Structure 1
Amino acid sequence: MPAADLAWLLAAFALVSLMFPGLAMFYGGMLGTKNILNMLMMVMSSLAVTSVLYVLYGYSMVSGNSWGGLGIIGDPLEFFGLQTFVTDLETGGAEGLYWAAFFILFAAITIAIVASGAAGRMKFGAWIAFSALWLTLVYFPLAHQVFTFSDPESGYVGGWLRNVIELHDFAGGTAVHMNAGVAALALAMVLGKRKSAAHRPHNLPMVVLGAGILWFGWYGFNGGSAAGANFLAQYVVLTSLLAGSAGIIGFCLVERIRNGKATTLGMASGAIAGLVGITPSADAVDPIGALLVGLAAGAVVCLALTWKTKLGIDDTLDAFAVHGVGGVVGVICVVLFADSAAPAGITGILFGGNLDIVWRELVAITVTCTYSFVMTYAIAWGLNKTIGLRVTEEDEYAGLDVTLHAETAYVSERA
């Protein structure tokens, strides 16, 4: 790998690593003071669990040659322990090691987003067990189907959504965002509503700082997916900036029209919605298209938050609306706004493109959301019937920071 490419990719890796404390702060600030540390623990533990599983079999399940040539899941033993890369540095193993590390972060941030559906009421041990099962049975198969390309010359078979359906998803609108959002919804449905819930975020400056760190990390998330220090990396960093900015405008406009006031929480949520929306389409739209993607994602996500409230489902930190619905909007925007002059070379139907693209993206949306919801619900239901998912009512009222971790985020006594 050329030195310039490696330097940018290592920088992108560092940027994405910051998304974990960023998400922890974003989520933690939206909760009450009694559960913030528990949320930080849930988010940061996602990286620990994912790293172990990815080394053992996760990388193989995602990037390995497809089992039976079906494009559903990679051979879980092909790269067991990543030993192939360690012993084969002369023929590309070093580059393989980098991508293994980079995609650990992709998988870990996905399960961390799912914590939205469990905030303030789930046993920490149950969360660890759920994370391990969910990564194995939900994320790894979907990531294989979406991210892994086939190589006909070597006989290597990749994922069917990418290679048979020919889905266009630049950096994970399906396997990451839609998947996480729908999973958070399913987990919240199994857990039920919180009995003791703060009615508003306890620290909005923390939420905004967390959103800013996430935005910062997103340049690595999308820019690193360009696989080098190249024009594509520059392009997707620009479209990410534009979509995140437009997402703020779209979300706050809907808030202003509906409630008469735009809010700080809405600004932060709108930025994340715009970034979610641009993730699958960052290389497919032009700068004006990126603004339209952000506006659409911000506005639709704001409306989706209202629908979620009416349904009475306690997806506490709104992962379904922001990531699930935002991811769907982003994939649909590929269909609508893709410009053939952009690096992906796709033409959306609003620019005279072939309608053939419509069914491909719709199949990907349907498969991702259906598989994620059914499997997540089954995993959560099974764990609830065996080890139990929820803390006791007394622990919930007391707060999970004290009852599960013997800590408090804030000390009221004067020094």
Structure 2
Amino acid sequence: MKIEKRWVISFALITLIAITSLFWTGSNDLKDQFLSEDNINTSDVAWLLTSSSFVLLMTPGLSFFYGGMVGKKNVISTMLQSFISLGVVSLLWVIVGFSLSFGSPIGFEIGGTTYGLIGNPLDFLFFNNVSSLPHNALASTIPFVLFALFQMKFAVITPAIITGSFAERVRFISYLLFICLFIVFIYAPLCHMVWHPNGLLGSFFGVKDFAGGTVVHMSAGFAALAGVLVLGKRKNSEHIPTNIPFVLLGTGMLWFGWFGFNAGSALASNGTAAMAFATTTIASASAMVTWIFFDRINGRKVSAMNACIGAVVGLVVITPAAGFVSIPKSIFFGFAAAIVSNLMVNWKKLKAFDDTLDVFACHGVGGIMGMILTAIFAEGENASLLHGGWSVFGHHMLALILVSAFTFFGALLLYKVTNLFIPLRVSDEAERIGLDLSQHDEKL
């Protein structure tokens, strides 16, 4: 059996990483950033352990959600593209991803303060300095390792979301290379800029993103749109969803896991977590109901799949605001996002791009809607248009433009780079017989 050179190189790289992990010892210069074990709050630890488990479940849930929507000959490949992220991104996060996201800020100084564009890759390389002690700035009541693992689950699901856009036509090993590049060059810098205490967007621009509307959903949505443009249309863009019960199961798993995603982002077992828990489920309920009624008044039948899509759009739109708005406002968030995303899903000009599972229309547009609505309604002093004035809102809109451009053009470049090393698209014959057989030699 002929073994492709690219697989040999990949295995050699994994071997090198595994051996390096045995001998790597980093510096201990960051000791002054950590508190003692006396600062650990056991109820916070219990909630974050639970939340981390919830968020991990979302990626298998996404695989069912996507897998049920594609044609029969591409179910396994589509599900695996989500599932493999649990392995690839988890390792990459431990090696360098977490350090790039939450290491000491590297950027530029304004008024004596350094605003970071990315974290120092050496601070937490191979999880060096990531221990059971709490971090005084990032997570002061839970072990730092728990914070790092909680954040890892966010990194895992982000590239998995992208896969729905180019399902049924992407080469598997090319996808693996792309998600590694995406985490290092797009997700990690964006995560640092929004969520690090000295990040450019969060600290300087004042961007509010409670649980990832910008970091996760906008980045995935625009990367999905870029991927569609680079890979082009499928040879046969018409297919019948294989398994609607899979879609229902995946939606249930996503909805369940999203409680950890949003409520866990309070990083504590407190009232903010409880409010985020409530706004999450109410926004999703509102979006689901709005979606099916909006379908009906536009002459489309109520379908299980569209009800599921509506529910997920509601989860997406409330994510950046989950801990910042009241329950009544979450109803409006779900309502507004469902209508806008529904219009985008059914917009003929967008359909012409062949975004297989409407990732941009749901996650990209949902993330944009979430950021805009958060900039209008977020509660707290100087938090939004209604609680701070036009300056706060203007900063959010400027950040929205910057994030959109950075993620779209950055992803476009990474697809091009990936394609230089390994062709992104499968052959016409491989696409015809389906990726399950052509890429994995498996079938339903």
TM-score by length of 2: 0.85
C-alpha contact 1:31 1:198 (8 A) present in aligned 2: no
The one-letter amino acid paired with 1:375 is G
Name the counterpart of 2:121: 76
For residues 181 and 90 of structure 1, the distance between their equivalents in structure 2, rounded to whole angstroms, comes to 33
The one-letter amino acid paired with 1:38 is S
2:262 paired residue among 203, 222, 227 = 222
C-alpha contact 1:278 1:290 (8 A) present in aligned 2: yes
Residue identity (%)? 38
2:397 paired residue among 351, 355, 362 = 362
Deviation at 1:385, TM superposition (A): 3.2
Name the counterpart of 1:153: none
Name the counterpart of 1:199: 239
C-alpha contact 1:308 1:321 (8 A) present in aligned 2: no
1:121 paired residue among 163, 169, 177 = 169
Please list the CA deviations of residues 355-391 of structure 1 after superposition, one character each: whole Å capped at 9, or x if unmatched. 1221121122111111011011111122223321111
Q: Between Structure 1 and Structure 2, how many residues are aligned?
A: 395
Deviation at 1:298, TM superposition (A): 1.0
Query: Mean alpha-carbon deviation: is it higher for 360-369 or for 391-400?
Result: 360-369
For residues 34 and 346 of structure 1, the distance between their equivalents in structure 2, rounded to whole angstroms, comes to 52
Please list the CA deviations of residues 72-110 of structure 1 after superposition, one character each: whole Å capped at 9, or x if unmatched. 111111111112124x74888971101111111101100
Deviation at 1:161, TM superposition (A): 0.1
Name the counterpart of 1:254: 294
SS of equivalent to 1:229: coil
For residues 346 and 211 of structure 1, the distance between their equivalents in structure 2, rounded to whole angstroms, comes to 35
For residues 65 and 308 of structure 1, the distance between their equivalents in structure 2, rounded to whole angstroms, comes to 46
Name the counterpart of 1:269: 309
C-alpha contact 2:234 2:354 (8 A) present in aligned 1: yes
C-alpha contact 2:65 2:250 (8 A) present in aligned 1: yes
Deviation at 1:312, TM superposition (A): 0.9
Q: Cα RMSD (Å) of the superposition?
A: 1.8
Please list the CA deviations of residues 26-81 of structure 1 after superposition, one character each: whole Å capped at 9, or x if unmatched. 00000011001001111011121111111111111100111143411111111111
For residues 345 and 110 of structure 1, the distance between their equivalents in structure 2, rounded to whole angstroms, comes to 31
1:3 paired residue among 42, 49, 55 = 42
C-alpha contact 2:284 2:312 (8 A) present in aligned 1: yes
Name the counterpart of 2:338: 298
1:29 paired residue among 47, 64, 68 = 68
For residues 48 and 305 of structure 1, the distance between their equivalents in structure 2, rounded to whole angstroms, comes to 31
SS of equivalent to 1:77: coil
CA spacing shift, 1:90–1:292, aligned 2, 3 Å? closer
* 1:85 counterpart = 2:130: yes
For residues 76 and 381 of structure 2, the distance between their equivalents in structure 1, rounded to whole angstroms, comes to 45
SS of equivalent to 1:116: coil
Structure 2 spans left out of the alignment, 5+ residues: 1-39, 108-113
The one-letter amino acid paired with 1:57 is V
* 1:284 counterpart = 2:324: yes
For residues 310 and 317 of structure 1, the distance between their equivalents in structure 2, rounded to whole angstroms, comes to 12
The one-letter amino acid paired with 2:310 is G
Name the counterpart of 2:284: 244
2:411 paired residue among 376, 380, 391 = 376
CA spacing shift, 1:393–1:67, aligned 2, 3 Å? same
CA spacing shift, 1:261–1:311, aligned 2, 3 Å? closer
The one-letter amino acid paired with 1:278 is I
For residues 363 and 350 of structure 2, the distance between their equivalents in structure 1, rounded to whole angstroms, comes to 19
C-alpha contact 2:208 2:383 (8 A) present in aligned 1: no
2:92 paired residue among 45, 50, 53 = 53
CA spacing shift, 1:91–1:233, aligned 2, 3 Å? closer
The one-letter amino acid paired with 2:435 is L
C-alpha contact 2:345 2:351 (8 A) present in aligned 1: no
CA spacing shift, 1:308–1:284, aligned 2, 3 Å? farther
The one-letter amino acid paired with 1:224 is G
* 1:325 counterpart = 2:373: no
Name the counterpart of 2:249: 209
C-alpha contact 1:254 1:303 (8 A) present in aligned 2: no
* 1:186 counterpart = 2:211: no
The one-letter amino acid paired with 2:199 is G
For residues 43 and 355 of structure 1, the distance between their equivalents in structure 2, rounded to whole angstroms, comes to 40
C-alpha contact 2:382 2:389 (8 A) present in aligned 1: no
* 1:99 counterpart = 2:138: no
TM-score by length of 1: 0.91
CA spacing shift, 1:275–1:404, aligned 2, 3 Å? same
CA spacing shift, 1:198–1:98, aligned 2, 3 Å? same
Name the counterpart of 2:179: 131
Deviation at 1:315, TM superposition (A): 1.3
Deviation at 1:267, TM superposition (A): 0.6
C-alpha contact 1:253 1:299 (8 A) present in aligned 2: no
SS of equivalent to 1:380: helix
CA spacing shift, 1:259–1:309, aligned 2, 3 Å? farther
For residues 140 and 310 of structure 1, the distance between their equivalents in structure 2, rounded to whole angstroms, comes to 29
CA spacing shift, 1:65–1:374, aligned 2, 3 Å? same
C-alpha contact 2:65 2:246 (8 A) present in aligned 1: yes
C-alpha contact 1:174 1:364 (8 A) present in aligned 2: no
The one-letter amino acid paired with 1:76 is P
* 1:314 counterpart = 2:349: no
CA spacing shift, 1:309–1:22, aligned 2, 3 Å? farther
C-alpha contact 2:52 2:260 (8 A) present in aligned 1: yes
For residues 427 and 123 of structure 2, the distance between their equivalents in structure 1, rounded to whole angstroms, comes to 43
The one-letter amino acid paired with 1:295 is F
* 1:44 counterpart = 2:78: no
C-alpha contact 1:174 1:327 (8 A) present in aligned 2: yes
Please list the CA deviations of residues 110-136 of structure 1 after superposition, one character each: whole Å capped at 9, or x if unmatched. 010011122011111101001111111
SS of equivalent to 1:238: helix
The one-letter amino acid paired with 1:356 is S
For residues 257 and 341 of structure 2, the distance between their equivalents in structure 1, rounded to whole angstroms, comes to 21
Deviation at 1:405, TM superposition (A): 0.7
Deviation at 1:249, TM superposition (A): 1.9
CA spacing shift, 1:17–1:91, aligned 2, 3 Å? closer
Please list the CA deviations of residues 192-249 of structure 1 after superposition, one character each: whole Å capped at 9, or x if unmatched. 0111344231111111110111000000000110111111110100000110000112
